[in-house]
Amino acid sequence: MKGPIVLGEYQRRCLREALRKDAAGNYVYSTIVWSDIKKSAKSCIAAAVAEYVAWHIPWGSIYFIANDLEGADSRVGYYARRNVELNPNMAGSVKVRASRYHMEFPNRTFAKAIPIDPTGEAGSNPDMVCYSELWGAHEEAQERMWVEMTLSPTKIGKSFRWVETYAGYSGVSSLLERLYEVGVREGRQLWPEPYPVNDGEPTPIEAYANDAAGQFTLWNTHPRLPWQSSEYYAEEAAHLPPSEFLRLHRNQWAQPDSESIPVSQWDACADAGIPPIQPGDKTPLVIGLDASVSRDCTALVATSRHPARHDDIAVRLVEVFVPPKGGTLDYDNTIGPVLKRWREDYNLVQLTYDDYQMHYFTDILRREHSLWIKRFSQAGPREVADKQLYDMVMGRRIHHDGTNKVLRQHILNASVRITGDRMRFEKRSRTGGAPPIDAVVALSMSAFETRRLNL
């Protein structure tokens, strides 16, 4: 819909304070942290502020930075361009470069999205630097980028940093944690009077000023906008880990190794009504294979459509192999015999696998067992499959007989990494002694392919 965005009163009040100037015409704050719950128009507001600066400072420079170039361009940069395209007063006067990373205003001020490149941006002299989703900045290059893009002393009072984000992970999101400490813990709350929320008693607007640090912080933890309804949050709570729900929708800090699938929810998927699969059964099965030579386990998990609920998935067979201590796993005497037996006893229609270290062996399986074998990418497709598995467990649309303790333990061992709308199961630690999750990965791949195929 074309037209101006309509802000909540708390947002208008915070904007007036964040961009307040003193008697000399200088900005009071050099750092503004705008941290709000998901779907509170954070990126739109940042884009509007950037364009306000662009129109009022000739020959200025504005930079959009995120955890990668795509993120910088697709968030605040995208909304800034969209506003230009939809506004008839801007469309003919603001130039948008073909690369779509760069806008130039009639007063020769430019705004552009840039990659994380500390050496390339050293010595810049920005009027505004906008950081998106700073919760995800935890690598050395991102820390150095923050340093290199610090404000110039020649523009004190005329420039500022703007950070739009929601909460991050304690002990991991170090840049954002420092800003939170300075802004919220060391700052003073600006408006202590109660203000309406959508889910309970009125509570003060969570806005803070640290005068010594020149930092304004909005750290809102309550739904306050009309579209943030209880029905929306009920749906979100059913599909997100509790810690991630609180991080995204209540702007609360999360622990980095949260429980990916609540084990109580996995146990609730136990279904005594699934008949045990017997040799000679013609039910089409898809096998997921997550393999390792040493240290990690190797897991085979076969799934099928649920016999009574076609859109649901049933776990039918599970086999996990542990390599000998200090040795390596012999595929020919472990995976090979099991697949041979399964091929003889059941209707195997596909084996999908993680390609790492498995290309040679899967060629043998293809030739010797006439299996339809499909490589499963561990990049984007894995993240889609992992999110689907999580949603199916939370919605009780995956079924198991409740007897496999190894698979249950691998569910317990897994943590989750969420980046935007993507999800990936990971070990709770990346060290060699981390407990295995291979059966979860194998189940994720198998369940995804079973749903994809018209079985």
Q: Tell me the domain boundaries of the chain.
A: 9-249, 263-452
Which numeric CATH code is attached to 9-249?
3.40.50.300
Q: Are 209 and 27 in contact (CB under 8 A)?
A: no
pLDDT tens, the chain, 455 aa long: 566 788 999 999 999 999 999 999 999 999 999 999 999 999 999 999 999 999 999 999 999 988 666 666 777 888 888 888 888 888 788 888 756 688 899 999 999 888 776 555 555 789 999 998 888 776 677 777 888 888 888 889 999 999 999 898 777 788 899 999 999 999 999 999 999 898 788 999 999 999 999 999 999 999 999 999 999 999 888 877 777 888 889 999 877 655 567 777 888 899 888 888 999 999 999 999 988 755 678 899 999 999 988 889 999 999 999 888 777 777 778 888 898 899 899 999 999 987 655 555 566 666 665 677 788 877 778 888 988 898 888 888 999 998 999 999 998 888 877 665 667 888 865 444 568 899 999 999 999 999 999 88
| Beta strands 207-210; 188-189: pairing state | antiparallel
Residue 359, Cβ density class (10 Å: 0-12 exposed, 13-18 middle, ≥19 buried): exposed
Distance of CA 349 to the CA centre of its chain: 33
Answer whether 49's CB lies under 8 Å from 56's CB: no
Q: How far is CA 154 from CA 62, 69, 150, 451, in A?
A: 16, 28, 12, 60
Give the integer Cα–Cα distance in Å for 440 and 412. 10
The residue whose two tokens read 């569910």 is 411
Coil, helix or strand at residue 299: strand
Class of residue 227 by CB neighbours under 10 A (exposed 0-12, middle 13-18, buried 19+): exposed
CA distance 207 to 190: 6
Tell me the fold of 263-452.
Answer: Nucleotidyltransferase; domain 5 (3.30.420)
Q: Which of 417, 435, 423 is nearest to 258 (CA)?
A: 417
Residue 21: DSSP 8-state: B
